[in-house]
Structure 1
Amino acid sequence: MYKKNKLFLFLLLFLSFFTNAQVTPPLSSDYKIIEIGTNGGDSTKNLILIHEIFNGGLISMNNAVGTLTAFRGTAGSYNRTNMIEINSSSAYNGTFATLRTYDGNGEWILKTCIYNGKKYLAVDVPYADSHHDWGYQFTGWTKSTGENMKSVNYEVNGQAVNTDKLSDIQNYIPNMNETHLVSNFLIMGNNVGIGTMNPDEKLTIKGKIHTQEVRVDMTGALVPDYVFENHYKLKTLPEVEEFIKENKHLPEIPSAKEIEKNGLMLAEMNMSLLKKMEEMT
């Protein structure tokens, strides 16, 4: 019996040690789990005020580093799953913020606004007619000299609301860098957009590209060296002249209107220009 009791006490101390070892007290009272609530109902657009930010007067530390989640879903209501990782702070005379979103039906966008006379960093909740009936919750380190993680409606059934205390809603341009120092960065998805929310190809970029080299695989494309074959029939100069007078562009080259409408296919255009050069040669 003594040995059994001794073994029992040993196991109890062992389990107690490892159970307690997994519990880490918060390093700061600013680490919080905040139940934000819902926006109140369907057909409602709302902002979540993150924290106060600099607006001309020096400000104490305000910050939010953590995860904001929003859910909808029951046996009688369709599923909505949204989550953002936010990293933001405002102190003295500067504000830094960025966010990463995971969503099933829309994008969360950083905003600024004036609420009850103070300026705030906020996120615009992706809108759908049916609201997040499980509400919003923030988990992380946050503090604010004003409101902190508060949902504020700005439109209900197409009508503006809270205009007496909410105003000047503006887009906020994220100003923090995210760096990945890895051997390979793999994205196993459908389309990737840079500078656009609506990529229509594997990679869609709204803006300029600066690079040292571009290599295009000519899969399925026919390099036009066949124009040097003896059986290839060149258009006569009068035929080319007649075509240009009538169409205002070279044969087999798209017109300016076509390029403006459909864009320019790089591989296809290079082969067409090469063909014209070889024909002239």
Structure 2
Amino acid sequence: MKNTFLILIGMLLTQSSMAQQEQVIPPSNGTVASLEKNLLFYADRKFTVTQSGSAQLPVHRLFDGNMEPVYTENGINPSNPYVLLIENLPSNHTQRGAWIGWSTRYFQAKRFKVEISESGSNQWKIVADVSNYDKSYYITPVIGTFVNKIRFTVYETVQDQNILGLSEFFFIHPEATQAYDNLFVKYNSNGFVGIGTNNPQEELSVKGKIRAHEIKVETSNWPDYVFKPEYQLPSLTETEKFIKENGHLPEIPKASEVEANGLSLGEINNLMMKKIEELTLHLIEQQKQIKVLENKLESK
């Protein structure tokens, strides 16, 4: 039964890594979980992730869900092994089933160790100490505990120069993650997040509507400088001339630019407030002129 289970997992991991997706089916205890329950998705942004030893990997690629393999630039020195340390995990009990593992396409770990540190303890507990391993996947259960830290140590790989390859390092923890968390967003190689788009161009790109009770935009250089004596207020004649020649207000982007590039809320609010303040000064001046004319008419 155990061998059949491992073979099944291996087939699933190998096939799905080519499709940039993975599914893991734990033992038949009435529970089914997959990488949608991976607590370590973007672990480098949510937790504390460090590496040490004689080799390094691009850490963010180990947790981005793309299942694309990365490799160390040099071989691992067994006396100074590669160590991946993940700390500050949430304190959720693993109940009857949680699973730690990894997958790769080539150059898998041959001799390695997986350890956990339980919440409230500074001691390391070995959950796997493996030698002469030759498969491109690995998974081990972690049952009935609170996992605060995970340490993955690699001493030797199947590659003759001891180069290590990894596609994804995961911790499937159904009690700590909600189903389909993060599956409706797209993360690119820069860590930009897209909702409704596969090509996010900013830290957050949304193709669709956003509803919120309040949106606060941080900005600088708020245009109260318009009210300072040294500010050169453009005349209405100058503004009229600019509009006739360009078809839009000075400093305000034209329609084609907005349609192509969108608007920065902080920048456009600054510009709009600047124009409001300029108009206010013009209105004040006009009101003064009107008052002078009224006084002249009343004196006649």
Looking at secondary structure, tell me which structure has more strand per residue: 1
Structure number with the bigger relative contact order (C-alpha 8 A, sep ≥ 6) is 1
Looking at secondary structure, tell me which structure has more helix per residue: 2
| TM-score calculated relative to the size of structure 1 | 0.40
